[in-house]
Chains A and B, each alone.
Chain A
Amino acid sequence: MFFFTYLARELRRRLRQAIFIALGLAIGVGLVLTVTAAAAGVKNAQAGVLQGLYGVGTDITVTGAAPSPPKGAQGPSSGKGTQITMGPNGAEICTNGKCHALKNGYTIDNLGSASYSPISATSVSKIAALKGVTAAAGGLLLTDNQTTISATPTQPTSFTVDGADISKPKLGPLSQAAVSSGRAFTAADANKNVALVDKNYAASKGLKVGGTIKIGGTAFTIIGLVAQAEGSSPPNVYVPLARAQAVATSGPTGGNLKNDVNTIYVTAAKSTDLATVQHEIAKLLPTAQITTPSSLASQVTGSLTSAAKLANDLGKWLSILVLIAAFAVAVLLTMAAVARRVREFGTLKALGWRGGRIIAQVMGESLAVGILGAAAGVGLGFAGAAIINAIAPSLSATLTQPTGLHMMTPNGAISPTTSHTVSVPMYASVGLTAIGVAVVLALAGGLLAGAFGSWRIGRLRPADAIAKVG
């Protein structure tokens, strides 16, 4: 009881100094929390984008290596794959060396695996059997390109199609899509020409449930519309994997994909198993690309990545600097306070107080200031996060991917790419872990200050403290 009475009285006596130290710690802690909240917001936004590509619950995504484009110098009939040559006298399409003339107004509808090379579907079960893997599902990420032949070449229109393994609904991009109208896939749909369409894409193209959509020249019945994460870059259309395999061609090589996938979604039993699983998959599929969501993040550009850099670099260092300054101020002021109380502590030693008891008293005072700083810092952190949410503009994330189409024009060869920019709302939120870390930091600041003060007390000889050499 006496401990707390003495502690409270001392804090009241040095109220301004206690408030100053607590405020310094609070600013440091508040900044750490704000930066952490902002970083968490950016991370969540990134996760939203990445989940759109890989789906919830996927730890590792295996994709076939990106196919290399044909050399621009190659003639239309000399190379493999599908090539379109446009000229003043019309167009010509060559598939694996076989060429046909195309009339103006003719629409080429090609569903291809533009971005990834095919992987044998048997690899899915091999990966599923690896140690540390809980589930694996194959998929085909495809692009449907529709080009209308005309005298003046135009960019093809394209949309993305996901051939989804509907027997494993928890893996892949479809796992995070919610049916907003119509119905979801059922097992009976596995070999039917049915499709689920992203509701935003459907709205922009006037597509409705019960209508049809042409994919790779085949009409698919739209059985449902799906709502997907706003910040993600989801496929525009989902079709059963078997139908996608039947309709699609493997990009430039023009082969069919009947026994292939180009993406395998893998879930590991534990996050610590990821490296081992990744290594085993690399042995199984040496040419495949093995990606985790974090490695994919590096492919995202736009203000989202700028915000991530700002939060991670500038914010982190600013927080560290402010914390160091706050700790230094707390230490210096506590040492100054101890210096002013030398006579008091000397007197207590003369009364028979042990050094440890006096140190505990000073540490208690510092800890109390640290607690005040932590409480105020948490408040400032929430305020900082609220301010960020109020003033931060929406972030944008841009993903650029090849369409896989290679066109010869009078001006040379072009390989169009699709660029998908999404607006990502950022929500800075203060998590419990961050609060815990912030509180520990403030308390550490208080204890550090107390420790320096105590170091001085420990060296104090009572005779020096209270008496002059008479």
Chain B
Amino acid sequence: MYELTSVSKVYHSGTRTVEAVKGVDLTIDDGAWIAIRGRTGHGKSTLLNLLGGLDRPTSGQLKLDGRDLGRLSDAELTRVRANAIGFVFQTFNLVPTLSAAENVEAALIPLHVSGAAERRRRVAAALDSVGLADRARHLPSELSGGQQQRVAIARALVKEPKVLLADEPTGNLDEETRDEIIALMEKLWRERGLTLILVSHDGAVVRRAQRLAIMTRGHLAVKTTEGPTRGGRS
């Protein structure tokens, strides 16, 4: 469970100060699906980075399962990212020289999963869950945008994280592929009991979430949508 109390993030750029996130208070229950929407430059991705332990708040408390991420050491924060949080990015961020399977395997490296056979089994299962079992040996350049994003999702889920953070996961995809990806994420969310936090400015995407939060100039306003419930179909 996430508990955010007066979380702010300030960036300094020379003499200029940018307050990207301002006093956010938010609680996200385990297994919830929350979408964050907002205009470009209003702090959505910054908030997502804070939730993912990629950055630290300038002030306030950001707790994941009772641990204040802002106070953890770099090594502890790295361990949290390795074990508990999966990321999906707008630009997929696959390593171009590694095959689909190897990209997925990269997420298991920090977990020190013992045995090549066990790693292969988990990688194959993850790729199968996103419908890409037959593309395991393909390089990213040999895959379509939708397939690359599926690989990225498999990479995020292969370590069986508690939280999945997605930053504009459909931003680079056409409508048809977007719908496929969102449907896939929803399916995985249902099946795996994930906490899904998704940033998008696409109304068609955020409408599928349980809760919608709007970021406006660093401020967050949350409202409950008529989105899906776990175990049922929207």
Interface flags for B34-60 (1: CB within 8 Å of A; 0: not) read 000010111111101100101100000
Q: Which of the listed residues B40, B54, B110 has the most CB atoms from chain A within 10 Å of its own CB?
A: B54
Q: Which of the listed residues A348, A350, A466 has the most CB atoms from chain B within 10 Å of its own CB?
A: A350
Whether A351 pairs with B110 at a CB distance below 8 angstroms is yes
Whether A468 pairs with B93 at a CB distance below 8 angstroms is no
Partner of B78, one of A354, A467, A469: A354
Q: Is B117 an interface residue (CB 8 A)?
A: no
Q: How far is B38's CA from A413's CA once the two chains are assembled, in angstroms?
A: 109
Q: Is B98 an interface residue (CB 8 A)?
A: yes
Whether A352 pairs with B111 at a CB distance below 8 angstroms is yes
Interface flags for B145-170 (1: CB within 8 Å of A; 0: not) read 00000000001000100000001000
* Chain A residue contacts of B43, Cβ below 8 A: 469-470
The segment out of A2-10, A63-71, A194-202 that lies at the interface is A2-10
Whether B106 pairs with A470 at a CB distance below 8 angstroms is no
* Chain A residue contacts of B107, Cβ below 8 A: 351-352
* Chain B residue contacts of A467, Cβ below 8 A: 45-46, 48-49, 54, 167
Q: Is A273 an interface residue (CB 8 A)?
A: no
Q: Is A357 an interface residue (CB 8 A)?
A: yes
Chain B nearest CB from A307 CB (Å) reads 49
Q: How far is B95's CA from A2's CA once the two chains are assembled, in angstroms?
A: 13
Q: Is A13 an interface residue (CB 8 A)?
A: yes
Q: Is B83 an interface residue (CB 8 A)?
A: yes
Number of interface residues of A (CB under 8 A): 29
Q: Is A349 an interface residue (CB 8 A)?
A: yes
* Chain B residue contacts of A6, Cβ below 8 A: 95, 97-98, 102, 106
Interface flags for A337-350 (1: CB within 8 Å of B; 0: not) read 00000011011111
Once A352-B79, A470-B199 are accepted as A-B contacts, the answer to whether A347 and B97 lie under 8 Å apart by CB is no
* Chain B residue contacts of A9, Cβ below 8 A: 97-98
Once A6-B97, A463-B54, A467-B54 are accepted as A-B contacts, the answer to whether A349 and B78 lie under 8 Å apart by CB is yes
Chain B nearest CB from A315 CB (Å) reads 41
Q: Is A461 an interface residue (CB 8 A)?
A: yes
* Chain A residue contacts of B82, Cβ below 8 A: 351-353
* Chain B residue contacts of A344, Cβ below 8 A: 93, 95
* Chain A residue contacts of B87, Cβ below 8 A: 347, 350-351
Q: Is A12 an interface residue (CB 8 A)?
A: yes
* Chain B residue contacts of A354, Cβ below 8 A: 75, 78, 110
Partner of A350, one of B46, B81, B116: B81
* Chain A residue contacts of B98, Cβ below 8 A: 5-6, 9
Whether B83 pairs with A352 at a CB distance below 8 angstroms is yes
Whether B81 pairs with A13 at a CB distance below 8 angstroms is no
Q: Is B7 an interface residue (CB 8 A)?
A: no
Partner of A351, one of B41, B45, B81, B97: B81
* Chain A residue contacts of B91, Cβ below 8 A: 343
Whether B110 pairs with A470 at a CB distance below 8 angstroms is no
* Chain B residue contacts of A188, Cβ below 8 A: none
Partner of A469, one of B45, B74, B96, B155: B45
Once A352-B79, A461-B55 are accepted as A-B contacts, the answer to whether A347 and B45 lie under 8 Å apart by CB is no
Q: Is A390 an interface residue (CB 8 A)?
A: no
Whether B93 pairs with A2 at a CB distance below 8 angstroms is no
Q: How far is B107's CA from A5's CA once the two chains are assembled, in angstroms?
A: 15
Once A352-B78, A353-B110 are accepted as A-B contacts, the answer to whether A470 and B40 lie under 8 Å apart by CB is yes
Q: Is A187 an interface residue (CB 8 A)?
A: no
Give the residue name and chain of the B residue nearest to A462 (CB).
B54
Partner of B93, one of A347, A355, A469: A347
Q: Is B109 an interface residue (CB 8 A)?
A: yes
Give the residue name and chain of the A residue nearest to B50 (CB).
A463
Whether A2 pairs with B54 at a CB distance below 8 angstroms is no
Chain A nearest CB from B151 CB (Å) reads 12
Q: Is B186 an interface residue (CB 8 A)?
A: no
Interface flags for B75-118 (1: CB within 8 Å of A; 0: not) read 10011011100010101010111100010011101110000100
Interface flags for A441-470 (1: CB within 8 Å of B; 0: not) read 000000000000000000001110011111
Whether A463 pairs with B106 at a CB distance below 8 angstroms is no
Whether A12 pairs with B97 at a CB distance below 8 angstroms is yes
Q: How far is B116's CA from A357's CA once the two chains are assembled, in angstroms?
A: 19
Once A347-B93, A469-B20 are accepted as A-B contacts, the answer to whether A2 and B110 lie under 8 Å apart by CB is no
Give the residue name and chain of the B residue nearest to A7 (CB).
B97
Give the residue name and chain of the B residue nearest to A14 (CB).
B97
Partner of B109, one of A13, A355, A357, A463: A357
Chain B nearest CB from A271 CB (Å) reads 52
Q: Is A1 an interface residue (CB 8 A)?
A: yes
Whether B45 pairs with A468 at a CB distance below 8 angstroms is yes
* Chain A residue contacts of B44, Cβ below 8 A: 470
> Which residues of B (150-200) have their CB < 8 Å from a CB of A?
155, 159, 167, 199
Give the residue name and chain of the A residue nearest to B13 (CB).
A469
Whether A13 pairs with B96 at a CB distance below 8 angstroms is yes
Give the residue name and chain of the A residue nearest to B47 (CB).
A470
Interface flags for B118-152 (1: CB within 8 Å of A; 0: not) read 00000000000000000000000000000000000
Whether B20 pairs with A2 at a CB distance below 8 angstroms is no
Give the residue name and chain of the A residue nearest to B89 (CB).
A466
* Chain A residue contacts of B159, Cβ below 8 A: 352
Q: How far is B46's CA from A6's CA once the two chains are assembled, in angstroms?
A: 30
Q: How far is B43's CA from A421's CA once the two chains are assembled, in angstroms?
A: 86
Whether B55 pairs with A463 at a CB distance below 8 angstroms is yes
Whether B110 pairs with A5 at a CB distance below 8 angstroms is no
* Chain A residue contacts of B109, Cβ below 8 A: 2, 351, 353, 357
Once A352-B107, A469-B20, A470-B45 are accepted as A-B contacts, the answer to whether A5 and B102 lie under 8 Å apart by CB is yes
- Selected A-B contacts with CB under 8 Å, 14 pairs: A6-B95, A13-B97, A344-B93, A349-B78, A351-B106, A351-B107, A355-B78, A357-B109, A462-B54, A462-B55, A467-B45, A470-B40, A470-B41, A470-B167
Instruction: Write the residues of chain B forming the contact surface with A, with a CB cutoff of 8 angstroms.
Output: 11, 18, 20, 38, 40-46, 48-49, 52, 54-55, 74-75, 78-79, 81-83, 87, 89, 91, 93, 95-98, 102, 105-107, 109-111, 116, 155, 159, 167, 199
Beyond A347-B95, A354-B78, 7 extra complex contacts between A and B, CB < 8 Å: A9-B97, A347-B87, A350-B52, A351-B110, A352-B78, A470-B45, A470-B46
3 tightest A-B CB contacts, nearest first: A352-B82, A470-B45, A9-B97
